[in-house]
Amino acid sequence: MAGVEPVVVPPEVDEVAIAEAAGGREDPRELVELLAVAKAEAVAAAAGPEAGLVLGCDSVFELDGVVYGKPHHAVVAAARWRAMRGRTGVLHTGHCLIQAATGDRGTAVVSTSVDFADVSDEEIDWYVATGEPLPVAGAFTLEGLAAPFIRRVEGDPHSVVGLSLAALRELALGLGVAWPALTGAEAPAG
50-60 tens-digit pLDDT? 888 999 999 99
Catalytic residue among 27, 58, 104, 118: 58
Distance, in Å, from the CA atom of 15 to the CA atom of 25, rounded to the nearest integer, reads 13
- Cα-based distances in Å from 16 to 68, 79, 101, 108: 12, 21, 29, 21
Look at residue 180 and give its three-state secondary structure: helix
Distance, in Å, from the CA atom of 50 to the CA atom of 52, rounded to the nearest integer, reads 6
161 touches 137 (CB < 8 A): no
Which pLDDT score is estimated for 190? 58
Which pLDDT score is estimated for 2? 67
CA–CA–CA angle 25, 169, 47 (5° rounding): 70
Residue 96 located in a structural domain: yes
Residue 8 located in a structural domain: no
Residue 167 located in a structural domain: yes
Residue 2 located in a structural domain: no
Residue 10 located in a structural domain: no
Which pLDDT score is estimated for 47? 86
CATH of the domain at 104: 3.90.950.10
Strand partners, 111: 92
Residue 4 located in a structural domain: no
Number of domains composing the chain? 1
Residue 184 located in a structural domain: no
Q: Tell me, yes or no, if 27 is annotated catalytic.
A: no
DSSP string across 38-96: HHHHHHHHHH-GGG-EEEEEEEEEEETTEEE----SHHHHHHHHHHHTTSEEEEEEEEE
Nearest to 53 by CA among 11, 94, 98, 96: 98
Q: 138-162, pLDDT tens digit by residue?
A: 899 989 999 999 999 999 988 888 8
Look at residue 164 and give its three-state secondary structure: coil
- Domain containing 26 equals 15-179
Flag whether the pTM goes above 0.85. yes
Question: Which parts of the chain register pLDDT below 50?
Answer: none
Which pLDDT score is estimated for 186? 66
Residue 7 located in a structural domain: no
